[in-house]
Structure 1
Amino acid sequence: MTAPISAPGHPQQPDGAPAPEAPQAGYPLPPLPEGAPGKPAGQFDAKQKTVLGCGGMVAAFLIVLVIAAAMSPSEAKPAKAAEAKPAPTVTVTVTATVTVTAPPPVAAKAPEPTQEAAPQTAQVPDMTGKSGDLLVEALKTSGFADGYKATSFHDVSGQGRTVLLLTNWKICDQDPKNKTIPITDKISVGVVKFGESCP
């Protein structure tokens, strides 16, 4: 019996069925038909399981990365730091300019020439023949501040006695008399004791 001759590129299997074509480089393997000899229907071969396993691991890794990125505290720290960072201090300097207008200078007023006040004067009455105390009272009435200080009594009897009690002494002469004089001037009065004659 002659063995069947197989066409080039299509090797035949021992049972006479054509052998499957070899896969070309760069193209995926065609899926095996269900019910292929030696493989139950619905199962994957080792290469397909490897591809699926790698894809599942990559997907799981990506999911873990997304969850870790969402829950990572490193991204929350800058936000908290930004919240906790105090606001910068701003210093504002305000310069106020005040303009003060001075009043015009007032010319110094020249002092008015002062006239010396004329010395106060008083009238000296003639009290010849009267007691010395009456002359003192008359001078005070005329305008002298102190009639006793305005007079100078002296004994004209030649005895050189001190004139003490004016009521006991008689005026023989006075200078001036019946005349207006400054109240600062002195009045000279010559006296003797009553009962004695004036010289």
Structure 2
Amino acid sequence: MTWWRNPRQRLGVICAVVAVLVIVALVHRDRAERTGSTPVQGARVAATAAAPAESVPPRSPAPPAKPSSVPKHVLPDLVGADFQQAWDGARRAGYRFVTSHDAGGRGRRQFVFSNWKVCDQSPGPGPLATELRVDLGVVRHDEKCPAGSAPTAEPKVADGRMPALNGRGLTVVRRALRGDTHVKARDLGGSRLVLIETHWLVCTQRPAEGAPVSDTVEVGVVKYGEHCP
């Protein structure tokens, strides 16, 4: 009978193997305590000492960011053109923000573009960024472009004080003061009724410029083409 079939012999062999393993483990532990490191730690230290130190290459500075390229197109010269054609031309050139104002300072709205012509443009013609707003000053075809720069922006009330109203269109003045005061217009050239306000120019004002804004502002007006008295 072989030993692995005999229970007693098999048990004895197993006990002998276990004893040998215990003895080997104790010997290794004793060595580790004397050297102050475990076998795995010793292997790691030896490997670290044997391996050459790796040199870390210096980081190169990041390249400077390139400025965002703004697409540019050539804005044509639109002065003297029919407003509808000028508007279409600016749009075809890539300019999507096209606005207009009454170059005569009357504050009229442009509903039918073909009834108007361009007197001035801002900015002028040339290669420009397409994000820019193109503003066109226009008058009706049967009118002459103003010789000088007529005030076209609405006057602003600052700190409750009256702005300068003289020389501005009655429509522009009423829009500027809407919500702050009531505007009462009087014809300085006679007793005409002031009906179509875009036809009238302000010559006088009360209260005067710089005075506190009152509930009612009186303005003296004449028709465009007439001279203030």
TM-score class normalised by the smaller sequence: 0.3 to 0.5
TM-score normalised per structure 1:
0.42
Structure with greater Cα Rg? 1
